[in-house]
Structures are given as structure tokens and as C-alpha cells.
Amino acid sequence: MGLIALIGISMSADLKHVMYPGTNVDYFIVEDRCDGSSVENIKVNLIFGTPHLPPSKSASTTRASGQTTATSSSSSSGATKTFTSVNPVGAGYNKGMSVGLFNYGGSVLANAISGMKDLGTRWVRMDFPWSKMEPAGPGRYNTGAWDNAVRAAASGGMQILGIIDYSPDWSRPTGTNQFYPPTNMADYAAFCSYVVNRYSSMGVHAWEIWNEENGSTFWQPKPDPAVYTAMLAAAYQAIKRADPRAMVILGGMATFTDDGVNYNARTFLTRIYADGGRQYFDAVGFHPYVYPDMPGNADGNNWQQMFATTPSLRSIMTENGDESKRIWITEMGYPNFIGNPALTEQNQAITVQQAYRLQATYSWAGPLFWYTYRDGGNDPANQEDWFGLVRYDGTQKPAYKTYRSIPR
């Protein structure tokens, strides 16, 4: 069993030891009176090494290393409970969903929130695309769909990881598309500041900077680590000024190979460190898709690149003094694509089970966001339509039940 220091817990506290089902990971439930009148449960979770502190009872300050000290209110005996955390928001919440809630409305949004609440989803990752939220020029904002989505997620008890991505027409060279970086990073930083100011008051305190910036699909004409690092620095500083408690995640890197255009995630992360980016993120985002392979196969696949290859993301982080930072798996998915007989609903369910069970054993892992809640369509020729836990007609796949069985 792993060890964790409980500082300032009174001797009268009730400490219960619980085994995380299906793994060799265990945690404690601490029951103690924090205000002399009510009992609060503080879950000290060895999966993350961080506690559940009631939001109304805690405050946090983020250091450059990404560590956070969270302190609860004093107990009736005057004792104070102090914890050091590398994951200042949503500590211990490992079940996430990557889903574009802002595209939903009315009953579709309500049904998605109801379904994810039933699944035990604690985090929702969604885009806050600059290209759609400030499309007509500086200071001309479009926020209605995002306001609705954030409020809906909050009503279901879910936290938001917001992706600040994609450039509006006016911010980039003529003739380019939204996947080109802006000409002036100050424009992007100004949008970050606006979005964070607006949504921190609605409970959003975690932000991811772009999406799969190491590949030419979402960073055109081709990825550039130096330019991305400049974006990361501008965004980080703007976000921390607007909301000092916010967490900034390095954009989820995809599983490309080094081919002269795209960068493998390990190469790209190495370049970010070389370009001085270390101080501008609190965690690393990664998308370890492995299908039709499985996460548990020890064959050097994309999942293994987080920790088992030479180098790995973890070894690169450690070499640069960032061993205390987490890797957030901000996308992971498996399509049951009828165009490929190997990609079955049963294998999708197995992947859900393996991914979350493995993630729960990694002390360095942040939340895992499954992509996605509902199929985008039912086109037999389009693999992208088939990643959901729920079919396009609203019925549940086997993976729905599997995800639901994963401890929160």
C-alpha cells in the first residue's frame, strides 16, 4: 500500500481504508468534524495523491511548479488540515467525458446531462472556440450556447475543462482557416482573459490550450513548437491574471509520428521545454488512442508512450524537473466502426474497462476523458460517427454499462 501524509488530522478522526475495486490501489476516507457542527468526508485519493476538499471550505494558491496547497477551515479544536496537491481542481475526479455540449440544445442537452450524471461523469471537456465565440471582430462576443452548456453541466454536478482553440478570420492571415495560429498572440491572450473572467464565476477553473497542436490537422500549415510555446506563455499569463486558482493544461497532443510535418508527442514536448515552456503549464494533455489495439498491451503502443517507452512523456517531464505535474488524458476513445470488423462494440467496452483500471493505478495521472458520449451519426462510411457510449438513436452500447461501473 502506498503512503500519504495526513497533516493536522486530529486523533479523533475516523480513518477508513478502502480498496479501489479491480486494482491494487487503495485510499482512505477521513471523517472529522471541521466546524464543530457537521461531519465532512475528505477523500485522500492515492490515485491522484490529492484530497476532496469541500469548495466552500478550501482555498488554494498555485506555485510555478504546479503544486497547490489547499487548506480547510479550522476545526473546533483549532486544528487546520493542510494538503499539498498537484491537481488543484477536481482532485480525485477521474471520470471525464469529451463532448461538444455547446452544440446541443433543448432536450438533446438535457438528455446528455441526464445520461452523463447516470454514468457518474465528473468532468466534461468541451471547446470554447475563439473562432465561434468572437467571430466578427475584437470585443464582439457570442456566448449563449456556452453559457447554457456550462450551467447545464453544473446542474449535473460536473466540472468543465475548457479548450481555448481555433482562430477567427480577423485574427489570422487572409485565405487561411481556423486551424492557423493567430498573427498576434496578444489577441488570443485577450480572448483567454475574457473567457476565463466570464466562466470562472460559473465554476470553470481548468483550461486546455489548443487541441492536438503537434499535428497538421489542427495546427496549419504545419506544427511549430516555438510558436505554440509563445501561445502557451501568452495564454497562461492571461488566465492566471484572470483567475489565479485556474489550472492550465498543455493542449492534448495526438499520437503522430515524426514525419517532417507532424511531431510525435514526446518530440513536441521536448521542444516545448527547450523553448522555455516549462513555467507555462500545470499539467500535460495527451490523447493515447490505440485502437484496434488495447491499452493493456505492453507493445510500445501509444498508451505506453506515457510511461514505458524510451523516452516517455513521464521521463521527459522528470528530466525537466516536472515530475510533480500530471498527465491528463484529455481524449481517449474507441469507435465501433462497422466498416472495420475488428472495431466492435464489445472491444469498445473492453477498452473502457482497461483504460480506467490502468489509469487508476498511475500516481502521475490526471482525469481520463472518454471521447465521446453519443455517436455523431450512423454513416457506415464515416468512422468518426461511432465513438459514442450511446448510439445515434439514443440506445446504450455495452460500453455505457462498463463506464458506469467505473468508480468515480
Residue 93 pLDDT class (50, 70, 90 cuts): low
| Total domains, the chain | 2
The residue from 53, 85, 117 where one domain ends is: 85
Segment 279-307 shows an average pLDDT of 94
Quote the Cα angle for 121-125-128, to 5°. Answer: 145
| 273 and 201 co-located in one domain | yes
Task: State the chain's mean pLDDT as an integer.
Answer: 82
Whether pLDDT at 1 is above 50: no
Segment 112-140 shows an average pLDDT of 98
Which residues, 6 or more positions from 62, have their beta carbon under 8 angstroms from its beta carbon? Answer: 68, 88, 240, 244, 245, 246, 247, 282
In a domain, 116, yes or no: yes
| 331 and 377 co-located in one domain | yes
| 115 and 224 co-located in one domain | yes
Per-residue pLDDT at 408: 77
Whether pLDDT at 405 is above 80: yes
Asked which of 92-106, 124-138, 390-404 is least confident by mean pLDDT, the reply is: 92-106
Work out the number of other CB atoms within 10 angstroms of the CB of residue 297. Answer: 12
Per-residue pLDDT at 48: 30
| 297 and 368 co-located in one domain | yes
In a domain, 1, yes or no: no
In a domain, 123, yes or no: yes
Query: What's the one-letter identity of residue 43?
Result: K
The residue from 36, 54, 85 where one domain ends is: 85
Cis bond before residue 311 (omega within 30° of 0): yes
pLDDT tens for 256-292 read: 999 999 999 999 999 999 999 999 999 999 999 999 9
| 352 and 388 co-located in one domain | yes
Query: What is the distance between the alpha carbons of residues 303 and 288, in angstroms, rounded to a whole number?
Result: 5
Q: Which of 92, 91, 115 is nearest to 372 (CA)?
A: 115
Query: What is the distance between the alpha carbons of residues 262 and 381, in angstroms, rounded to a whole number?
Result: 26
| 43 and 114 co-located in one domain | no
Whether pLDDT at 138 is above 90: yes
Whether pLDDT at 159 is above 70: yes
More confident residue, 67 or 188: 188
Read off the CATH number of the domain in which 347 is found. 3.20.20.80
Q: Which of 394, 369, 389 is nearest to 125 (CA)?
A: 369
What range does the domain containing 30 cover? 14-85
Whether pLDDT at 94 is above 90: no
Residue 175 pLDDT class (50, 70, 90 cuts): very high
| 99 and 67 co-located in one domain | no
Per-residue pLDDT at 299: 82
In a domain, 6, yes or no: no
Whether pLDDT at 184 is above 60: yes
The residue from 85, 113, 144 where one domain ends is: 85
| 264 and 299 co-located in one domain | yes
Asked which of 51-55, 108-112, 140-144, 248-252 is least confident by mean pLDDT, the reply is: 51-55
Using CA atoms, how far residue 251 sits from 208, 215, 246, 283, in Å, is 5, 12, 15, 9
| 21 and 165 co-located in one domain | no
| 188 and 248 co-located in one domain | yes
